[in-house]
């Protein structure tokens, strides 16, 4: 690894100041499972590395009265997966997070790192998209950005110079719900998604769908959602919804899968998700 300056700031204010002063030369270190790999491979050579783990306000899970739950950006995935509030209300996020890497990786990797790394295949992103999560961004001031607007392209977010991701807020779902995350990969463990699909249903008839690894950023399938809204989920309806999802994605060919194969898998996973949702909405 190249030489760099390692800094452990005392609080968020200091972290934000260092980020603002150093611009392109600085990188945030959370779990390091993306950052250290890229530094070892000499893809990234930041002059300053700023370790945000353990800063007050950046770690842990808390309930926000009359709203939902806030997850600190630097909270390790394993802590999120096992947390009772997440298990009880947002199991689909736990499913997504559980798909990441191995036990060792999840003990270090953080939610904020997964999102700020902004890979189109980030396994926590589809769940957060269907949950209508909100990113709390901290710079000189704080701003709230809906997850649907957080990603700007492969490896890019809307974070500006001098900003970091502070926490993710997820509103409680207003009615009885069911969420599912499917990941398709080449091997069962420690592989990246070729396609990821999250489906969420809210009684009586709202359905949300989000996908990873099928476009430059993780995406919501808004056209399919609008079409499905309030409809009885029949085989015909599912077929039409799958066709609409295909219009909203733009998969590419890469080392994990070809575009054509991705389109097949998208159809299979969306269909599978909607049949599960059909059972749920029918009370089966």
Partner 1 sequence: MMKHRIRFTINGEVREMEVKSNQRLLDLIRNDLDLTGTKEGCAGGECGACTVLVDGKAINSCLMLAVEADGKEILTIEGLAEGMVLDPIQESFVEHGALQCGFCIPGMIMSAKALLKKNPHPSEMEIREAISGNLCRCTGYEKIIEAILNVTQKQA
Residues in touch with partner 1 (CB under 8 A)? 1-7, 29, 31-33, 36-37, 39-41, 49, 51, 53, 78, 101-105, 107-108, 188-190
Binding mask 69-108 for ligand FAD (x = CB under 6 A): ----xx------------------------xxx---x--x
Residue 101 φ/ψ region, left for φ over 0, alpha for ψ in the -120 to 50 degree band, beta for the rest: left
The binding track of 39-58 with respect to ligand FAD, each residue x by CB under 6 A or -, is: -------------x------
What are the backbone dihedrals phi and psi of residue 172, each rounded to the nearest 5 degrees, phi first? -60, 145
Question: Closest separation between CB of residue 245 and ligand FAD, Å?
Answer: 21
Smallest gap from residue 35 Cβ to ligand FAD (A): 3
Nearest distance in Å: CB 46, ligand FAD: 8
Contacted entry of ligand FAD, partner 1, none for residue 103, CB cut-off 5 to 8 Å set by kind: partner 1
Single residue of 61, 70, 94, 164 touching ligand FAD by CB under 6 A: 164
Nearer to partner 1, 102 or 235 (CB): 102
Q: Using CA atoms, how far apart are residues 104 and 224, in angstroms rounded to an integer?
A: 37
- Per-position x/- string for 123-142, each x denoting binding to ligand FAD as judged by CB under 6 A, each - no binding: x-------------------
């Amino acid at each position: 690894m190249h030489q760099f300056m390692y800094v452990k700031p005392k609080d968020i204010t200091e972290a934000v100041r260092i980020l603002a002063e150093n611009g392109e030369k600085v990188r945030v270190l959370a779990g390091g499972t993306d950052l250290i790999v890229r530094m070892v491979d000499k893809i990234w050579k930041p002059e300053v590395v700023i370790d945000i783990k353990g800063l007050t306000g950046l770690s842990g899970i808390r309930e926000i009265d009359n709203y939902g739950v806030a997850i600190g950006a630097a909270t390790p995935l394993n802590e999120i997966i096992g947390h009772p509030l997440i298990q009880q209300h947002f199991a689909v996020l736990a499913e997504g997070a559980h798909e990441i890497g191995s036990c060792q990786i999840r003990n270090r990797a953080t939610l904020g790192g997964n999102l700020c790394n902004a890979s189109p295949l980030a396994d926590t992103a589809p769940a957060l998209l269907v949950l209508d999560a909100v990113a709390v961004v901290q710079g000189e001031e704080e701003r709230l950005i809906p997850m649907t607007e957080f990603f700007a392209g492969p490896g890019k977010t809307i974070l500006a110079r001098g900003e970091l991701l502070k926490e993710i807020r997820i509103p409680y779902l207003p009615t009885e719900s069911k969420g599912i995350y499917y990941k398709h990969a080449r091997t069962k463990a420690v592989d990246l998604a070729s396609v990821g699909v999250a489906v969420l249903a809210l009684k009586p008839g709202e359905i949300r769908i989000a996908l990873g690894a099928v476009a430059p950023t993780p995406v919501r399938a808004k056209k399919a959602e609008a079409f499905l809204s309030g409809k009885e989920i029949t085989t015909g309806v599912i077929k039409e919804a799958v066709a609409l999802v295909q219009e909203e994605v733009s998969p590419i060919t890469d080392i994990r899968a070809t575009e054509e194969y991705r389109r097949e898998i998208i159809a299979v996973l969306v269909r599978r998700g909607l049949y599960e949702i059909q059972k749920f909405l029918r009370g089966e």
